C-alpha cells in the first residue's frame, strides 16, 4: 500500500513540475530533488512492505520495519497535502480579476499573499526533503533489497489441507467425482483441468483428495504434485516438477542414463539446481515421452504460468492430464481448451453439517438453543469451508452456552488475526491482498469504506475510484474503461464477489466476503487509509484521510477538525445535524462527498469552496436546491442528483468544465418521470458523457449540439421539434444509450431521419405516439436493449423486432398490438429478458425465445389465463407478475399451473404494501385457502389506503 501512496506522490509532483513551473520557479530544483528521493525510496518498498507484513502476521504491528513503512506513507501523504493546499491557494489567487483602483488594490494584496505562499511552500519542501533524507538513511541501515528482489510472506497453512481424510469432506464430493471422471476418461490428448475459487473454499483440499484417490493412482504411470506459490520462477517450477517426478518414481538405471545425457550425474537437489532451463525441458521430455502422466500444480498465482509449462509437459497422446488450482480466473483464460471448475461456497445445509461436525463432534448434533446463533455465525463465514472449520474448531473448546456463542459472533472480526484457531484463515484471506499489484491495493481497500454485506453499484464504485485518484490517466482509453478492468481483475482474483450482472454479463453490483470485509476494515485503519464511525466506534485518531459515517453523524467532524480529510460518506444515518453541514465545508481538501440515501435536506453555500471536490452525490435525498456557489467546483467530475428533489439547476453549472456525469431526474408519486430545468449555456460542459433527463426545447437542443462526448442521453420532447432533435443527435457520434420521451401523446413522434445512430447504439427507449417504428432500428447491429412505451402503432412491434440478431432485453409498455401477443418459433433467438405490460393473452410457440431467463408481466388486469406455451421456455429462471394479486390467484388454482411452471425456480408476484413493494411466491399463495387469500387482499388494500392518508 505504501508503494501506491509513493507512486501517487511521484505522479503528483511530476504533474506539478509540468503544469506549475512558473509559480514554483524558486523551488523547482527542490521539488525535482524530492521526486528523485521518492523514486529511490520506492525501489526498496516492496521488500519493506513484505517484511512489515511478516511482522504484522507475527502479531507485531509496531515493529521497526512497519514503523519505517508508516513513515514513508505519512511523508507521501504530507507531500500530497502540501501540493493540494498550494493549488487551492493558487486558485483563490486567480479567483478575482477586477479592474480599476479596486482591482489594483486586490492585486497588491494577492501579490503579498503570494510571497507568503512561496515562502510557506519553500519551507514545507525543505522540511519534506530533510525527512526523506532521514528515511533513506534508515532504508540503508535496515538493508532493504531493491524492488525486484523482495521476499514473499511465507505461508504453508494449505499443507494440512492436502491430508484431510475423505470422510471429513463435506460438500465437494460431487465435484471430486466429476473431476476424477475427467482425469481418467475422455480424450487421449493431453488435457488441462483448472479449479478456480477464492481463498478458503477448499481448492487444495479437493485437489489433494483427488491426487490420493486409488482410481487416479492406478490410472496414471506417474504423478507429481507441486505447490507453486507467488514467487516461483519458470526455472523453479520446471525443477520442482522434474524432482517431484523423480522422487515419486525413483531413479532407475534407465532413468539415470537419460539424466546423464542432459548433464545430471546424480539425483540430489544440489545437482539439479545446476541445470539450465533447456536441460530441464530435455529431461522432462525424456522422462514423460512414453508415460501417461498427471501433474498437479497447486496455488498458481502468476499469469505467465501456462507459458512456463505448455511445452515442458509434452503432448504424447497417452491421455496425460494437468490439473491446477488458482484464485485467479485470468490465469486460466489463456489456456486453450481448458476445463474450468469454479468452486462455489457451501450451501447453507452443507455448511451447517460441516460446522456441527467441528463444533459438536462426529455426531454433529447442535442443541436447539444454539441453532440460531450457529447459523448467524455461519452467515459470517459465507460458505467458506476453511472459515467454517476454523470457527467450529474454536467453538468446540468453549462451553455450549448461548453467551459464548454470542460473544464469538460479536468479536469474530477482531479475533481473526489473534486467535490460534483462526490465524490460518486470516493468512489465507490476507494472501489475496498481499498478492495484488500496488495499483489494485487501494481499490480493494476501498470496499472497507462501505458497510459489511453492502452490495455496491459497480458504476458508482468506479466513479469513486476515479475521483479518489486510484485510476491513472490514459491517452487511449477512458478512465471508466481502465477502472472497469481493475474491477474485473479483482473479481478474477476471487477477492470481489459479483452480486448481479447486466445482460452483457458484466458486473453490475458487487461486494466482498464478510470475513474479507473484516480483514480489509482492520487493514484500512492500520494503514491510515480510512476510518469508519458508528455509535459503537466513536474514538477517532487525529489524522484521518477518509471517513465513512455509519448510523450516527453527531459530533463526528468536530473531533477531527485538524485532519486532511479527502472523503466523507454517509451510510444508514438516521439524522444529520446542522452542525455537521457547517463543519463539513472547513475541510478544504475534500475530493468526495457521497450523501446517497442520507437524510440531508440542503447543501451549505460553502460547498463551493471545496476546490478539490471531484464527486458529489445527493442521490435519493431531500435536497431541493443547489447553491449558486456550486459553479466554483471547477474540478467536479460527477454530480448525481438522481431521485433528489432538485427541480432546477443554477446557471453557474455552466462553469463545471470537467463534469462528465450528470443525472438529474426523479419520479413523482404517480410514477411519472420528472425532469429538471437546465440553464442555457450548458453546452460549455464539453466533457459531459452522461446526461438525463432534459426538456428538449429549441434552446436546449442548440446547446446539446455542442456536447460531442455524450454516451448516454435522456430527452423529454415538449414541442414539435423532431427535425432539430434529429440534427442534434447527428452530432453525437459516441452515443450508446438514447432515451426519447414525448409529453404530448396527441402528437406523432417522427424520428425517421435520425440515421446517424446506426454506428454504435446499444440501448434505445422510445415513449409517446408513433405510427411506425423508424426503419433505422432494424439496422442497429449492436442494439441489445429496447424499451417501448408507444401508442398508435399500426404494425405489431413484436413481429417487427423479432429478427434483431443481438437483442437481449425487450420491454413493452402499452405497446402490444391487438388483444393477444404471439411469439412464434425462431423469434428472438438471443433474448434473455422480456417485460410486458397491458397484455390480454400470451402465446409462446415451441422454439420461440430459447434463451429467455427472465419474464415479467403486468400490470395486465385483463390477463386471466396462464401464458400458453410457458413450458417451452426451458431456460426461464424468473417468472414474475406485477400488481396482479387477484389475477395470479385465479391462475394458480388452474389444474395446469403446477405442470407448466414446475421447471421455473422463482415464480411470484410483486405488489404495493405499506408504501413500498412486496413480493410473494406462488408457492405461498397456493398454501392459502380462498378465505385466507381474501383476508390477505384486504390487508394489502388497507395498507395502501393508509399509506396515502
CB 198 within 8 A of CB 432: yes
CB 264 within 8 A of CB 239: no
Residues 294 and 369 placed together within one structural domain of the fold: no
Look at residue 932 and tell me if it is in a domain: yes
Per-residue model confidence (pLDDT) at position 48: 73
pLDDT above 50 (res 155)? no
pLDDT above 70 (res 623)? yes
- Among 96, 125, 149, identify where a domain stops: 149
131-135, 503-507, 882-886: least confident range: 131-135
pLDDT above 90 (res 652)? yes
The grid coordinates of residue 124 equal: 514545507
Residues 35 and 52 placed together within one structural domain of the fold: yes
Look at residue 722 and tell me if it is in a domain: no
Look at residue 662 and tell me if it is in a domain: no
Dihedral in degrees, nearest 10, Cα atoms 532, 536, 539, 544: 0
Q: What is the mean pLDDT of residues 616-644?
A: 95
Residues 123 and 30 placed together within one structural domain of the fold: yes
Bond before 423 cis per omega within 30 degrees: no
Q: Is 805 exposed, middle or buried, given 0-12, 13-18 or 19+ CB atoms closer than 10 A?
A: exposed
The grid coordinates of residue 706 equal: 455542442
Look at residue 826 and tell me if it is in a domain: no
Q: Is 286 exposed, middle or buried, given 0-12, 13-18 or 19+ CB atoms closer than 10 A?
A: middle
pLDDT above 70 (res 397)? yes
Look at residue 127 and tell me if it is in a domain: yes
**Residue 156 pLDDT level (bands cut at 50, 70, 90):** very low
Which one has a higher pLDDT value, 911 or 592?
A: 592
Q: Taking Cα atoms as reference points, which of 453, 572, 445 lies closest to residue 510?
A: 453
Residue with cell 511445452: 311
Q: If you average pLDDT over each of 116-125, 170-179, 251-260, which comes out highest?
A: 170-179
CATH number of the domain to which 591 belongs? 3.80.10.10
| DSSP conformation letters of 92-136 | HHTS----HHHHHHHHHHHHHHHHHHHHHHHHHHHHHHHHHHHHH
Per-residue model confidence (pLDDT) at position 835: 95
Per-residue model confidence (pLDDT) at position 27: 66
Which one has a higher pLDDT value, 559 or 103?
A: 559
Look at residue 775 and tell me if it is in a domain: no
Residues 85 and 34 placed together within one structural domain of the fold: yes
Per-residue model confidence (pLDDT) at position 120: 56
- Among 285, 319, 342, identify where a domain stops: 342
Dihedral in degrees, nearest 10, Cα atoms 327, 328, 331, 333: 110
**Residue 95 pLDDT level (bands cut at 50, 70, 90):** low
Q: What beta strand segments (E) does 394-479 contain? A: 456-457
The grid coordinates of residue 136 equal: 533513506
873-900 tens-digit pLDDT: 999 999 999 999 888 888 988 888 988 9
Residues 203 and 262 placed together within one structural domain of the fold: yes
Give CA 143 to chain center in angstroms: 39
CATH number of the domain to which 238 belongs? 3.40.50.300
Per-residue model confidence (pLDDT) at position 794: 84
Q: How far apart are CA 168 and CA 11, in angstroms?
A: 53
Could you tell me the residue range of the domain that residue 482 belongs to? 436-519
E strand or H helix at 724, and its extent?
Answer: helix 722-729
Dihedral in degrees, nearest 10, Cα atoms 702, 706, 708, 713: -40
Residues 333 and 189 placed together within one structural domain of the fold: yes
424-460 tens-digit pLDDT: 788 888 888 888 888 999 999 999 999 999 999 999 9
665-709 tens-digit pLDDT: 877 766 677 888 888 889 999 999 999 888 888 888 888 889 989
Per-residue model confidence (pLDDT) at position 535: 62
Which one has a higher pLDDT value, 144 or 725?
A: 725
180-206 tens-digit pLDDT: 999 999 889 999 999 999 988 889 989
pLDDT above 60 (res 108)? no
Residues 307 and 352 placed together within one structural domain of the fold: no
Residues 456 and 600 placed together within one structural domain of the fold: no
CB 657 within 8 A of CB 685: yes
Residues 453 and 395 placed together within one structural domain of the fold: no
Look at residue 226 and tell me if it is in a domain: yes
114-125 tens-digit pLDDT: 544 454 566 777
Q: What is the mean pLDDT of residues 232-254?
A: 80
Residues 10 and 94 placed together within one structural domain of the fold: yes
Q: What beta strand segments (E) does 320-369 contain? A: 321-326, 339-342
Q: Total structural domains in the chain?
A: 6
Q: How far apart are CA 546 and CA 735, in angstroms?
A: 35
Q: How far apart are CA 46 and CA 37, in angstroms?
A: 16
User: The whole model's pTM is what?
Assistant: 0.86
532-542 tens-digit pLDDT: 887 655 667 77
- Counting Cα atoms < 13 Å in the Cβ hemisphere of 949 gives 7
pLDDT above 70 (res 375)? yes
Look at residue 835 and tell me if it is in a domain: no
Q: Is 653 exposed, middle or buried, given 0-12, 13-18 or 19+ CB atoms closer than 10 A?
A: buried
Q: What is the residue-averaged pLDDT of the chain? A: 83
**Helix (H), strand (E), coil (C) string for 179-215:** HHHHHHCCCCCCEEEEEECCCCCCHHHHHHHHHCCHH
CATH number of the domain to which 504 belongs? 1.10.10
24-33, 331-340, 690-699: least confident range: 24-33
95-109, 175-189, 496-510, 824-838: least confident range: 95-109
Residues 73 and 120 placed together within one structural domain of the fold: yes
- Among 649, 675, 708, identify where a domain stops: 649
Residues 329 and 194 placed together within one structural domain of the fold: yes
Amino acid at each position: 500500500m505504501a508503494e501506491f501512496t509513493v507512486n501517487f506522490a511521484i505522479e503528483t509532483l511530476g504533474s506539478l513540475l509540468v503544469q506549475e513551473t512558473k509559480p514554483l520557479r524558486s523551488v523547482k530544483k527542490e521539488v525535482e530533488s524530492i521526486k528523485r528521493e521518492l523514486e529511490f525510496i520506492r525501489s526498496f518498498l516492496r521488500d519493506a512492505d513484505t517484511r512489515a507484513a511478516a511482522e504484522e502476521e507475527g502479531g507485531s504491528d509496531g515493529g521497526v520495519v512497519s514503523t519505517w513503512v508508516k513513515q514513508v506513507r505519512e511523508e507521501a501523504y504530507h507531500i500530497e497535502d502540501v501540493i493540494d493546499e498550494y493549488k487551492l491557494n493558487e486558485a483563490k489567487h486567480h479567483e478575482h480579476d477586477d479592474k480599476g483602483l479596486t482591482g489594483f488594490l486586490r492585486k497588491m494584496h494577492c501579490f503579498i499573499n503570494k510571497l507568503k505562499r512561496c515562502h510557506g511552500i519553500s519551507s514545507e519542501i525543505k522540511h519534506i526533503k530533510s525527512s526523506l533524507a532521514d528515511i533513506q538513511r534508515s532504508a540503508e541501515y535496515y538493508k532493504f533489497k531493491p524492488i525486484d528482489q523482495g521476499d514473499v510472506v511465507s505461508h504453508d497453512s494449505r499443507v494440512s489441507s492436502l491430508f484431510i481424510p475423505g470422510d471429513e469432506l463435506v460438500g465437494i464430493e460431487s465435484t471430486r467425482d466429476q473431476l476424477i471422471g475427467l482425469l481418467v476418461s475422455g480424450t487421449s490428448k493431453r488435457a488441462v483441468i483448472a479449479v478456480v475459487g477464492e481463498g478458503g473454499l477448499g481448492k487444495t483440499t479437493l485437489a489433494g483428495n483427488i491426487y490420493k484417490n486409488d482410481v487416479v493412482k492406478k490410472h496414471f504411470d506417474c504423478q507429481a504434485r507441486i505447490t507453486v506459490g507467488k514467487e516461483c520462477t519458470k526455472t523453479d517450477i520446471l525443477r520442482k516438477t522434474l524432482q517431484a517426478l523423480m522422487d515419486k518414481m525413483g531413479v532407475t538405471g534407465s532413468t539415470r542414463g537419460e539424466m546423464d545425457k542432459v548433464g545430471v550425474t546424480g539425483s540430489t537437489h544440489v545437482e539439479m539446481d545446476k541445470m539450465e532451463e533447456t536441460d530441464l525441458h530435455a529431461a522432462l521430455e525424456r522422462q514423460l515421452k512414453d508415460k501417461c502422466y498427471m501433474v498437479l500444480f497447486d496455488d498458481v498465482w502468476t499469469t505467465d504460468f501456462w507459458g512456463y509449462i505448455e511445452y515442458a509437459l509434452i503432448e504424447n497422446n497417452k491421455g496425460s492430464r494437468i490439473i491446477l488450482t488458482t484464485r485467479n480466473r485470468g490465469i486460466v483464460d489463456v489456456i486453450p481448451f481448458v476445463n474450468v471448475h469454479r468452486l462455489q461456497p457451501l450451501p447453507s445445509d452443507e455448511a451447517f453439517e460441516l460446522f456441527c461436525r467441528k463444533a459438536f463432534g462426529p455426531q454433529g448434533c447442535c442443541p436447539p438453543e444454539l441453532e440460531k446463533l450457529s447459523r448467524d455465525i455461519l452467515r459470517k463465514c459465507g460458505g467458506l469451508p476453511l472459515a467454517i472449520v476454523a470457527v467450529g474448531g474454536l467453538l468446540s473448546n468453549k462451553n455450549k452456552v448461548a453467551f459464548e456463542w454470542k460473544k464469538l459472533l460479536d468479536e469474530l472480526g477482531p479475533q481473526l488475526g489473534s486467535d490460534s484457531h483462526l490465524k490460518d484463515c486470516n493468512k489465507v484471506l490476507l494472501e489475496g491482498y498481499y498478492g495484488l499489484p500496488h495499483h489494485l491495493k487501494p481499490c480493494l481497500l476501498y470496499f472497507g469504506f462501505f458497510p459489511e454485506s453492502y452490495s455496491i453499484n459497480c458504476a458508482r464504485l468506479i466513479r469513486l475510484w476515479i475521483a479518489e485518484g486510484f485510476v491513472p490517466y490514459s491517452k487511449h482509453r477512458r478512465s471508466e474503461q481502465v477502472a472497469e478492468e481493475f474491477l474485473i481483475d479483482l473479481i478474477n482474483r476471487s477477492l470481489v464477489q459479483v452480486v448481479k450482472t447486466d445482460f452483457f454479463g458484466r458486473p453490475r453490483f458487487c461486494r466482498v466476503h464478510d470475513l474479507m470485509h473484516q480483514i480489509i476494515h482492520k487493514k484500512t485503519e492500520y494503514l491510515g487509509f480510512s476510518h469508519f464511525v458508528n455509535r459503537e466506534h466513536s474514538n477517532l485518531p487525529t489524522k484521518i484521510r477518509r471517513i465513512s459515517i455509519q448510523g450516527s453523524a453527531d459530533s463526528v467532524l468536530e473531533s477531527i477538525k485538524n485532519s486532511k480529510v479527502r472523503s466523507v460518506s454517509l451510510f444508514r444515518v438516521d439524522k444529520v445535524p446542522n452542525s455537521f453541514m457547517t463543519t463539513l465545508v472547513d475541510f478544504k481538501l475534500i475530493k468526495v462527498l457521497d450523501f446517497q440515501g442520507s437524510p440531508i435536506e440542503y447543501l451549505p453555500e460553502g460547498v463551493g469552496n471545496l476546490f478539490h471536490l471531484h464527486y458529489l452525490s445527493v442521490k435519493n435525498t431531500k435536497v431541493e436546491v443547489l447553491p449558486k456557489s456550486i459553479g466554483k467546483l471547477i474540478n467536479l467530475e460527477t454530480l448525481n442528483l438522481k431521485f433528489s428533489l432538485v427541480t432546477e439547476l443554477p446557471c453557474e453549472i455552466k462553469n463545471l468544465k470537467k463534469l462528465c456525469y450528470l443525472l438529474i431526474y426523479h419520479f413523482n408519486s404517480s410514477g411519472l418521470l420528472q425532469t429538471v430545468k437546465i440553464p442555457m449555456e450548458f453546452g460549455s460542459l464539453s466533457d459531459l458523457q452522461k446526461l438525463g433527463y432534459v426538456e428538449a426545447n429549441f434552446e436546449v437542443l442548440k446547446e446539446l449540439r455542442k456536447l460531442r462526448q455524450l454516451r448516454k442521453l435522456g430527452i423529454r420532447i415538449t414541442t414539435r421539434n423532431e427535425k432539430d432533435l434529429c440534427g442534434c443527435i447527428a452530432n453525437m457520434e459516441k452515443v450508446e444509450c438514447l432515451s426519447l420521451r414525448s409529453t404530448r401523446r396527441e402528437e406523432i413522434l417522427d424520428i425517421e431521419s435520425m440515421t446517424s445512430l446506426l454506428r454504435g447504439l446499444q440501448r434505445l427507449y422510445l415513449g409517446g405516439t408513433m405510427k411506425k417504428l423508424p426503419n433505422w432500428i432494424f439496422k442497429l447491429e449492436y442494439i441489445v436493449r429496447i424499451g417501448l412505451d408507444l401508442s398508435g402503432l399500426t404494425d405489431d412491434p413484436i413481429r417487427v423486432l423479432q429478427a434483431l440478431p443481438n437483442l437481449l432485453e425487450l420491454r413493452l409498455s402499452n405497446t402490444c398490438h391487438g388483444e393477444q401477443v404471439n411469439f412464434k418459433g425462431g423469434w428472438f433467438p438471443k433474448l434473455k429478458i422480456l417485460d410486458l405490460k397491458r397484455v390480454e393473452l400470451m402465446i409462446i410457440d415451441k422454439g420461440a425465445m430459447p434463451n429467455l431467463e427472465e419474464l415479467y408481466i403486468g400490470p395486465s388486469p385483463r390477463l386471466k389465463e396462464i401464458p400458453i406455451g410457458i413450458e417451452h421456455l426451458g431456460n426461464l429462471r424468473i417468472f414474475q407478475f406485477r400488481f396482479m394479486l387477484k389475477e395470479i390467484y385465479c391462475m394458480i388454482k388452474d389444474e395446469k399451473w403446477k405442470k407448466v411452471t414446475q421447471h421455473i425456480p422463482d415464480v411470484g408476484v410483486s405488489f404495493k404494501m405499506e408504501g413500498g413493494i412486496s413480493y410473494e411466491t406462488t408457492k405461498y399463495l397456493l398454501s392459502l385457502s380462498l378465505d385466507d387469500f381474501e383476508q390477505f387482499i384486504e390487508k394489502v388494500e388497507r395498507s395502501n389506503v393508509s399509506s396515502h392518508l
